[in-house]
Structure 1
Amino acid sequence: MNTKHTIPSDEDLTAFIDGELTAEEAARIEAIVNEDQSTAERLEFLARASLPFEQAFAPLLSEAPREKLGTMLAAIPVQQSARSDPTPAFGSRRRFLGALAASLVAGIAIDRAVIGIGRSFSAKDENSEWRAVVADYISLYTPETLAGPVPERDVQAAQLGSLDEKLGLSLSPEAVSLPGIDFKRALMLQYDGKPLAQIAYLDPETGPMALCIVKSDAGRKAPDLESRKGLNVIYWSNETHAFMLIGHAAADRMTAIAEGVRGRVQA
């Protein structure tokens, strides 16, 4: 790259996507995108995320320490620009993402999956792409992220039932239980228009673990093992769905756990 321009941040690229920049700022970023392949790929990466940011994080933000966050945000220097009208609070993805970042600093656990940092599903290698998305945000989890009591069975069943409606599965607490590992929550995420189910667990020995499921027509695949973001991943698929179990446990233990789940969870 021969340009002397500074590589734009994700915040700048998001503002470019949303049409919030001045003509001069937009032209600067466009020039960088035309000259630098990595920036062009990052721009496409961000542009193709289509996630319901505010809906997904409404409960989280309602519980946030607003006074503390307000103080933190006020202390962040604001880059002056030639915009004619100020953007209302949470009126854009950039401002909204900034508030979520402050929430992280304040110690609030959030799911990176719904911040839009994943890649879209690729027709070439759909399963590989969605596993990369999941690994990206599960790698942020700590035991504190999943702290709290284990939900009662009826609560687990209700959470799993909401996943069944979107995925066409019949999940029960017994089907997704993992030996010696605590069920913590089940929730439905959305990425690139596709439902992505996440069932999160806390292993007292190794920490966070998750079983994730998406609809897939890639065909049946026997279980396989890979490593992503320092986590072990066991993944497999049937005619209608792709599955992955991801966690910090040793590969042989993850394989044994996944084999049990695979036998119990059917479309």
Structure 2
Amino acid sequence: MELAPGGAPAYGMSMIELTDEILVAYVDEELPLEARLAVEAAIARDPVAQSKVRDMRETAALLRSAFPEEEPRDGTDNVVLLKPRPKSHLARNPIILAGLAAAAMVALVIGTGLSAYPSHGGRADFMADVAAYHSVYAAETEHLAEVPASRKDHIEEWLGARIGLQFTVPDLSSEGWMFEGGRLLAEADQPIAQLLYSAPHRQPIALCITRSDQTESSNPVQYDPGKGLKVAAWDDSGYLYIVVGALAPTELDRLTQEVRDHFQHA
């Protein structure tokens, strides 16, 4: 694509490369008027692009429905209050949620790179996204996990190889949570191991593990995206650990400590 001075894309009527990034910016109404008109004309001539635009708009609508914005509430000093970002720019980098019922969603997407978020400000945006897609898949029962708990050894080998970390699945049964299985997520080219747990009459919770740009360990930070969900995240030895679910802060503290102890003494 031709670049304007300063490295910005130069949009013209004669030739537009309808990349996913351009289409997302178009759907989000982030393009300047001239560029928007040029992209709109190109989309009108491209059935594949038209289909992508429809999918992106449907994804944005589903996210808005599943996770509507609400005013942040008062919190304690160690809780970062979040406002979810349901716009379709979450479609910039796909996370495949394999196994979800097709009527609910085939794929949900996250648009912010993990490695770009070493600080609370940027990472908070990612945690809001994590909570947003968790609110969708947590409603699943039959298709909750891609690989069931009965294949725990395989999950450990498979997901461990994908993220470059040899690990065993934490046992959270002392806190009332039973391991249900796992799935592989991907943010751009960065794999994320997701371990899923359930408890009677409760929404499932998830533990996500992926590489972090932070080499030093950090204390857990809680994030409050609203809608009853809570998220805790911390760094340890080059990996980012995330616990997400409909949990009271004290319960989240206990689960976080249980998971930390497991990996520190593994």
TM-score (norm 2): 0.58
Tell me if 1:195 matches 2:154.
no
The aligned residue for residue 156 of structure 2 is 160
- 1:176 is displaced (CA, Å) by 4.7
Q: Secondary structure at the match of 2:220?
A: strand
What amino acid sits opposite 1:93 in the alignment? K
- CA distance, structure 2, for counterparts of residue 245 and residue 139 of structure 1: 13
Summarize the alignment of residues 87-236 of structure 1 with structure 2, pairs less than 5 Å apart: 87=48, 93-94=52-53, 108-110=103-105, 114-121=107-114, 122-123=116-117, 125=119, 127-143=123-139, 145-147=140-142, 153-173=149-169, 175-178=170-173, 179-218=175-214, 219-230=216-227, 231-236=229-234
Structure 1 residues 108 and 220, CA gap change in structure 2 (3 angstroms): same
**Do the aligned residues in 2 keep the contact of 1:139 with 1:229 (CA within 8 Å)?**
no
Stretch of structure 1 that moved more, 249-258 or 195-204: 195-204
What amino acid sits opposite 2:162 in the alignment? K
Q: Secondary structure at the match of 1:146?
A: coil
**Do the aligned residues in 1 keep the contact of 2:149 with 2:180 (CA within 8 Å)?**
no
The aligned residue for residue 32 of structure 2 is 31
Identical positions, percent: 24
What amino acid sits opposite 1:146 in the alignment? T
Map Cα deviations across residues 2-55 of structure 1 (whole Å, 9 max, x no partner): xxxxxxxxxxxxx9644999xxx99x97434989xxxxxxxxxxxxxxxxxxxx
Stretch of structure 1 that moved more, 145-154 or 180-189: 145-154
Size of the aligned set, in residue pairs, is: 200
Gaps of 5+ in 1: 1-14, 36-79
**Do the aligned residues in 1 keep the contact of 2:148 with 2:182 (CA within 8 Å)?**
no
- CA distance, structure 2, for counterparts of residue 19 and residue 255 of structure 1: 38
What amino acid sits opposite 2:246 in the alignment? H
- 1:172 is displaced (CA, Å) by 2.4
What amino acid sits opposite 2:207 in the alignment? L
Higher-helix-fraction structure: 1
- CA distance, structure 2, for counterparts of residue 201 and residue 160 of structure 1: 15
- 1:133 is displaced (CA, Å) by 2.6
What amino acid sits opposite 1:199 in the alignment? L
- CA distance, structure 1, for counterparts of residue 205 and residue 45 of structure 2: 47
- 1:215 is displaced (CA, Å) by 0.5
**Do the aligned residues in 2 keep the contact of 1:127 with 1:242 (CA within 8 Å)?**
no
- CA distance, structure 1, for counterparts of residue 208 and residue 257 of structure 2: 14
State the superposition RMSD in angstroms: 4.3
Q: Secondary structure at the match of 2:32?
A: helix
Gaps of 5+ in 2: 1-16, 66-100
